[in-house]
Amino acid sequence: MRTFLFLFSFFWITQINAASRFELMGLDKNRAQLNYMLNCQGCHGKDGRGLGDVPALKGFVGNFLSSNEGRAYLIRVPGSANSPLTDVELAEVVNWIFFTMSDKSLADSFNPLTPEEVQTYRGQPILDAKAERSRLIAKFPIREKLAQ
């Protein structure tokens, strides 16, 4: 029971930190969620579990932050890069995805994506996203599988 309470409070504190960090960064959660619904949800699903053969963001996406090429991949994928969102809006949506969907795949400390990074990565489109995804995944330690 004590362990459970400890784990629960830890989870709760982590959630609060994630939410307040988002606000501290001056990001607009409601706008991020709306932009996700309009531009991403059709393929990635409401909670990021992925529809059809679209990979789950939920419980996994944070793994890509372990390297610079992984960060770049998150923006270079066609769904991100070709969306009608501005660089500021896209950085905001992807940071919102980290805070709301990555669960344990997100390291305790990480650098959120900046609009400047988004602008750079968008200028480097991926020819074969599936191959790049497999190449990256083979290189990093997987932090957490999808929470069931």
Nearer to ligand HEC, 55 or 112 (CB): 55
Angle between helical axes of 68-76 and 115-122 (0-180°, round to 10): 70
Distance CA 79, CA 40 (A): 7
**Closer to ligand HEC by Cβ: residue 9 or 124:** 124
Cα–Cα distance measured from residue 102 to residue 48, given in angstroms and rounded to the nearest whole number:
9
Task: Tell me phi and psi for residue 134, to 5 degrees.
Answer: -65, -40
3 CB-side CA count, 13 A? 0
Least separation in angstroms between residue 117's CB and ligand HEC is: 13
Residues 13-52, one symbol each (x = binds ligand HEC by CB under 6 A, - = not), give --------------------------xx-xxx--------
The number of residues making up the chain comes to 148
For ligand HEC, which residue of 21, 28, 49, 55 counts as binding (CB under 6 A)? 55
**What is the identity of the amino acid at 74?**
L
Nearer to ligand HEC, 7 or 38 (CB): 38
> Residue 94 Cβ, how far from ligand HEC at the closest point, in Å?
5
What residues line the site for ligand HEC (CB under 6 A)? 39-40, 42-44, 54-55, 57, 60-61, 74, 77-80, 83, 85, 93-94, 129-130, 133
